[in-house]
Amino acid sequence: MNTPVTSSNIDRSVVASFGQEWHKFDHAGTSEDEQRTIFDAYFEVFPWSMISEDSVGFDVGCGSGRWAYFVAPRVGSLHCVDPSPEALQVATEKLSRYQNCRMHLAAADAIPLPDGSADFGYSIGVLHHLPDTRRGIADCARKLKPGAPFLVYLYYRFDNRPLWFRALWKISDIGRYVISRLPSRLKLFVADVLAVVIYWPLARFAKLCESLGLPVENFPLTSYRNRSFIFMRNDSLDRFGTVLEQRFTRDEIREMMQSAGLTDIRFGTSSFWTAVGIKAS
């Protein structure tokens, strides 16, 4: 697993950063109920009726294996693909109870499956960290059989948010640019501080307002109002510790998926953009 990945569509500093992140946040002690709740939100539009216990699929950018953990019991074989040996080590331990998981040290442009062979695929929160996201989607879609579903979650460009919200994000992105380039230990420390002084107070304020019957859908960090602090720390590092981050509008995501040969595209109802498409015949 320690052989360096050869790929023209990865940023090696991003790969190294996520390897460190999944070692720090393997979620071994996190409530399975909480993890399942988040999994269900990501997979709300996934057509499980098209998947059987014999289906073969792939998880591109599997990270710690936290989503594969819930997919593996429902399918025949799941190929977990990630360019980070550190991440795969964590995923291997997490998925050790499942004999149908196959671990692959590879990038999206080198998924070790024949073209047109997979019954399904998904990539959650990964392809927006590639230099060429469009190409990443196409590389995944190429592995699918005709009629097979592909689920993707990409960072959205807040095109459904008010102007003040988008302005606030632009300010925070300046912070990401600086923090993501700090030495590793300092970056981890700063991300934890942000979780304490920003994520937790804003999330709990949104929860309080919700309990009072106030609308909270446009509150900053409202999606964390029912999450544990460990997820806030993890996502603070994920958000501010990554040097390469791309964001897309709903129309851009649809167009990239269509360009990759996916049809019948449907989006989730959550505040982030999850979308599923079916490989054209």
Specify whether 16 is located in the same domain as 30: yes
Specify whether 53 is located in the same domain as 182: no
What is the distance between the alpha carbons of residues 153 and 42, in angstroms, rounded to a whole number?
7
Q: Is 280 exposed, middle or buried (0-12, 13-18, 19+ CB in 10 A)?
A: middle
pLDDT at residue number 271 = 59
Specify whether 228 is located in the same domain as 105: no
Mean pLDDT value across the chain? 93
The CA-based angle 124-126-132, given to 5 degrees, is 135
In a domain, 3, yes or no: no
Specify whether 24 is located in the same domain as 80: yes
What is the distance between the alpha carbons of residues 143 and 38, in angstroms, rounded to a whole number?
26
Specify whether 109 is located in the same domain as 80: yes
SS3 264: strand
Specify whether 91 is located in the same domain as 72: yes
* Host domain of residue 271: 12-157+247-279
Total number of domains in the chain? 2
Specify whether 62 is located in the same domain as 150: yes
Q: Percent of the chain scored above 90 by pLDDT?
A: 85
Specify whether 149 is located in the same domain as 32: yes
pLDDT at residue number 178 = 96
Going by their DSSP bridges, the two strands 77-82 and 56-60 should be labelled as parallel
Specify whether 122 is located in the same domain as 194: no
Which pLDDT tens digit goes with each residue over 87-111? Answer: 999 999 999 999 999 999 999 999 9
Specify whether 93 is located in the same domain as 60: yes
Binned at pLDDT 50, 70 and 90, residue 3 comes out as: low
In a domain, 114, yes or no: yes
| Tokens encoding 178 | 């600086």
β-strand partners of 101: 78
Q: Which CATH number covers residue 68? A: 3.40.50.150
Contact 94, 63 (CB under 8 A): no
Using N-to-C axis directions, what is the helix angle for 184-194 and 163-179, rounded to 10°? 150
pLDDT at residue number 2 = 52
